[in-house]
Chain A
């Protein structure tokens, strides 16, 4: 069965960096688009970024553009989110989510359990 396991969360000071990982199993990772979605108590669910199956296409929400970078290693079945210049408003549980399409233009059909990122001094 599809399994997505996030890691890399923690407490980080504003302005610092953090890299999240999402280890995938139970499906052909290289065939599907993948997303990062976050959830903060006061802002609900927010889509963050998407990458197509082959890594050619990527899109970001405006508030993270230029600060966050999504990437994937299909040989390791792993999705990444490199976060830099972190702000307190980036504090959230970060989920990786699988897309049923290769492009990443569809919905989120499977989700990981999430990893908590807290940005605080």
Chain B
């Protein structure tokens, strides 16, 4: 099973600041990585697929990069609605696995 390690666990930032979230895979998954956003009481929402492609309707301030084992989600300038938990997920192998999440909270 591929293990995804997300860091940091919590990121405390102010609106307008840049957020950089990391996801490391336990083995090479090429670009088969997605990112999801989850707010309290809601289902996850797809943000990024294929490591760097934005899903439909996702603002341009969200960007993804990386390949192989190291991936990054960047939010260029945090909006109030961006404070949430972010998960990475791999589709390089079965079973599909998720990271434990990074919580982006208001400083």
Q: Which residues of A contact B (CB under 8 A)?
A: 35, 44-47, 50, 59, 61-62, 95, 105-114
Contacts and interface: CB of A to CB of B under 8 A. Distances in A.
A109 B46 contact: yes
Task: Please classify how large the interface on chain B is, using the bins under 10, 10 to 19, 20 to 34, 35 or more.
Answer: 20 to 34
A62 B100 CA distance: 19
Nearest to B36: A108
A112 B45 CA distance: 10
Contacts of B71: none
B64 interface: no
B45 A111 contact: yes
Contact of B98 (A45, A105, A112): A45
Interface of B: 34, 36, 42-46, 49, 55, 87, 89, 91, 94-101
Which among B42, B87, B94 has the greatest number of chain A C-beta atoms within 10 A? B94
Contact of B44 (A59, A105, A106, A108): A108
Nearest to A63: B95
B43 A112 contact: yes
5 contacts: A35-B96, A44-B99, A45-B44, A47-B97, A109-B55
Contacts of A113: 42-43
B63 to A, nearest CB: 17
Contacts of B94: 59
Contacts of A110: 46
Contacts of A105: 91
A46 B89 contact: no
Nearest to B50: A107
Contacts of B46: 107-110
Given A45-B87, A45-B98, A114-B43, 5 more contacts: A47-B98, A106-B49, A108-B44, A111-B44, A112-B43
